[in-house]
Amino acid sequence: MQAAPSTIDEGEVAKFEAMAAEWWDPNGKFKPLHMLNPCRLDYITSQIAAEFDRDLRQNQPFTGLRILDIGCGGGLLSEPMARLGADVVGADAAEGNIPVARVHAEQSDLDIDYRHTTAEALAAAGEQFDVVLNMEVVEHVASPIHYLTACRELLKPDGLHLCSTLNRNAKSYVVAIIGAEQVMRWLPKGTHEWSKFITPDELFELLREAGLDPVDRKGFVFNPITWGWSLSDRDLSVNYVTASVKR
């Protein structure tokens, strides 16, 4: 059996390893993710609850679900999933992220299985999950289709795949590259490559090609007046998220 081609882009991995120590600093280089995280979690938890018929008002409603947070970074999404009762595996290709994530989970008294590995390696090992969280990763890999195919292989039948990324248009270049990296300096210059951004229609096509069934997409919209994020059915012009199912 041929091994799946690696989707790791070593240059992209090096960028995030260089920032690993700052994952849990809300005013550090990952400030944009800290600001976006409540909105991301609203979408993630509502989609999981709907797909698996869970009541979010209950204590630890995700008990019994196995969730993979691929590209977990310092654990900004892994920890909330664990608090909601899920059995969580956090995986990242940047080795330096894993010790940071492990230490913070221990300090938070959370049991999370963090691993320095890739989607392809997990799929080759036969790992299976009810949910795969694939947030802000697909724009950093060498081959989106091979990466998404590995994510599909990691899902159990009727499993849920949640994927967020950045749209590719003039507005996203102004907001994500010029605004976030050069003007606001929320991120180091070069964190993103605009040419790697993916339009919503392109991502839906890639998901279908990978063997997934896209069922939803929403935009993450930043309001400079309230200084906060919200979900939008219509505005997917910069940040957006998709839900798809393995039938």
Q: Is 235 annotated as a binding-site member?
A: no
> Are 192 and 165 in contact, with CB atoms under 8 Å apart?
no
Pull the structure tokens for residue 70: 């691929």
Cα–Cα distance list, 210 to 70, 72, 144, 244, 247 (Å):
17, 21, 10, 11, 12
Q: Is 92 annotated as a binding-site member?
A: yes
* Residue (of 206, 212, 208, 202) closest to 167 by Cα position: 202
Q: Is 74 annotated as a binding-site member?
A: no
Backbone angles phi, psi at 42, to 5 degrees: -60, -45
> What's the rounded Cα separation, in Å, for the pair 224 and 210?
36
> Are 66 and 87 in contact, with CB atoms under 8 Å apart?
yes
> What's the rounded Cα separation, in Å, for the pair 89 and 72?
9
Q: Is 81 annotated as a binding-site member?
A: no
Bind-site residues: 40, 71, 92, 135
Bind-site residues for S-adenosyl-L-methionine: 40, 71, 92, 135
